[in-house]
Amino acid sequence: MKILAFAYLLVATAAVATAQCKSDLGALRLNGRVKTLNESAYDVLRYGAKYKKGGLISKTTINFDEKGFETESVAVNESGSVLDKTVFKHASAGNIIAGVSTRRHNNFVWKNKLVCDGNGNVTELTGYDNKGAITHKTTFRYDYHGHLIQRDELDKNGRLITEFVYKNDGLGNKIIEEMYRIDNGSMDRLNYIYTGYDKAHNWLRKTTFVNGKPIKTIERHITYY
């Protein structure tokens, strides 16, 4: 089961282009001075209209520095084998992020250039490979609360591939995600149910439904500075 991981449009002006971006904690809607985020993903066992947590799919550990930026992310499968390991490097203003990702013993060097609005929200992301060639583009749009409401994935030529539309709860957590695939005209609807929060109001358990069927539960353990 693939775990989509995703990042975050509004207005593009000269002032926006030089605006400082939020930390990764801000982009991920994590409150407090988070040091480590551990997420364990589980399959879902269904019994008619009822469901419960099934077997482990994968575990992901993300480490943050004291400024709230990601330094390393490691994902392992149910047996502990590394699926992906990424080491991050940020520019001082947070507008450029580079990384080396290791997947099945192959290293991928990449760089993302970010454009942010006056509130620090990422409005545009352009991805580059190790030769400086554009690999993809993403644009983001927010509501007046600063909550993400739309994300558009484009290919290297700027052609729209997939459109994501979101609805959020009062804390900015996604509760509905509609994914439109432009090429074949298909649409999937994802719903998220959260159960349990810590003292910093970060959620600790989330179940994902695709077109009404529960497919994955994620449990979190968060440590703070």
Count: domains in the chain: 1
**Does some domain include residue 189?**
yes
**Does some domain include residue 213?**
yes
What tens digit of pLDDT does each residue of 110-152 get? 999 999 999 999 999 999 998 999 999 999 999 999 999 999 9
**Does some domain include residue 1?**
no
Residue 45 has pLDDT above 70, yes or no: yes
| Residue labelled with tokens 């929060």 | 197
Residue 60 has pLDDT above 50, yes or no: yes
- Length, in residues, of the chain: 225
Structural domain including 215 reads 14-224
Average pLDDT over residues 199-207: 97
CATH number for the domain including 49? Answer: 2.40.160
What tens digit of pLDDT does each residue of 70-109 get? 999 999 999 999 999 999 998 865 588 988 888 766 788 9
pLDDT of residue 219: 98
**Does some domain include residue 26?**
yes
**Does some domain include residue 88?**
yes
**Does some domain include residue 5?**
no
Q: How far is CA 101 from CA 72, 111, 117, 128, 130, in A?
A: 10, 11, 28, 13, 12
**Does some domain include residue 6?**
no
pLDDT of residue 92: 65
Percent of the chain with pLDDT over 90: 75
**Does some domain include residue 8?**
no
Lowest mean pLDDT among 10-14, 147-151, 166-170, 195-199: 10-14
The reply to whether the predicted model has a pTM over 0.75 is yes
